[in-house]
Amino acid sequence: MFHGRYWSPEASVRYCTRLVRNHYENFPVFLSLFNSRQKQALAAIYAFSRHADDFADEDEFEGVRLRLIDDWEHQLRLCYEGRSCHPVFIALGRVVKDFNLPMYLFTDLLDAFRQDCRKNRYDTFEDVVDYCRRSANPVGRLVLKILGLDGSDIYYWSDSICTALQLTNFWQDISVDVPRDRLYIPLEDFERFRISPHSLSSNSAPAAFESLVNLQIRRTRHMFKNGLPLVFHSGYPGSVYFSSVWLGGRTVLRMVYENRHRILTYRPALNRHCVAGTLRNAGLAAVPVRVS
């Protein structure tokens, strides 16, 4: 599909934008907040991540996952040298130059995808957070770069929100991950509540399982709280964007909490109407936005 065909920069941008619209129905809503240059940059970053995530997770890539991720990193390095022929990297090549994006943010993401192929258990909560440092936090830092934001406080707030979002996704996906023999709840916490991870496969967890999930929810709420100042210190459109992301993540976490008694068989999720209602009910127009 890609080799032997010349992709112009314009066609490459269209490819990335189409991929975004086909895979994530709410992403175009968020993109509408940004100017055209920022939209194209975010679409290219999303396309890069979407392909790599599919390599790590989709059934069709079983047996060749690591090879495909390695090739994706090779394409990334060619991209930074201005020699890639893949549409994602042609589009991304313009972005990394325009916004001075460091390569390590992308290679950290790829390292996390590789880890997903090799590891399905985590001993401690610190191990899980370290995974989030590479699987989620780089995305937030890339967005900050696109918005022209930096500073130690800004990075801390962004990392806190991104880690909280990734953790929320883990707890949201328990019913999906357990049948795949993948667990992100730390093994030390299973020991703490005297629960065997193998007991989850029966879809009938011990009574203490709710307490185990509650612990993960409390930790995640704390991280959302730590990241909240980013909403008030990121200017426009950053404040509106991060408000949406923060509120959406907190809403999913609340849904996990409300359904914790059946989380092994039910995956709570936002839909388009739920997203719109969350933002409307939160009164985003009243959020104090500092325009720089």
Confidence of residue 275 (pLDDT cuts 50, 70, 90): low
Q: What is the DSSP string of 1-26?
A: --TTS---HHHHHHHHHHHHHHH-TT
Is residue 99 within 8 Å of residue 146, measured between CB atoms? yes
CATH code assigned to 1-118: 1.10.600.10
Is residue 51 within 8 Å of residue 72, measured between CB atoms? yes
| One-letter identity of residue 84 | S
Q: Hey, do 1-118 and 119-285 end up sharing a CATH topology, with the first three levels equal?
A: yes
Residues 37-93 have pLDDT tens digits of 999 999 999 999 999 999 999 999 999 999 999 999 999 999 999 998 999 999 999
Token pair for 35? 């100017």
pLDDT over threshold 80, residue 183: yes
**pLDDT in the model for residue 274:** 58
pLDDT over threshold 80, residue 292: no
Token pair for 128? 């899980």
Parse the chain into domains and list their residue ranges.
1-118, 119-285
Is residue 252 within 8 Å of residue 171, measured between CB atoms? no
Residues 88-97 have pLDDT tens digits of 999 999 999 9
| One-letter identity of residue 270 | L
Confidence of residue 206 (pLDDT cuts 50, 70, 90): confident
Element housing 246 (H / E): helix 235-258
Residues 86-121 have pLDDT tens digits of 999 999 999 999 999 999 999 999 999 999 999 999
Other residues' Cβ atoms within 10 Å of the Cβ of residue 201: 13
119-285 maps to CATH 3.90.940.20: no
- The average pLDDT across 233-256 equals 94
| One-letter identity of residue 110 | L
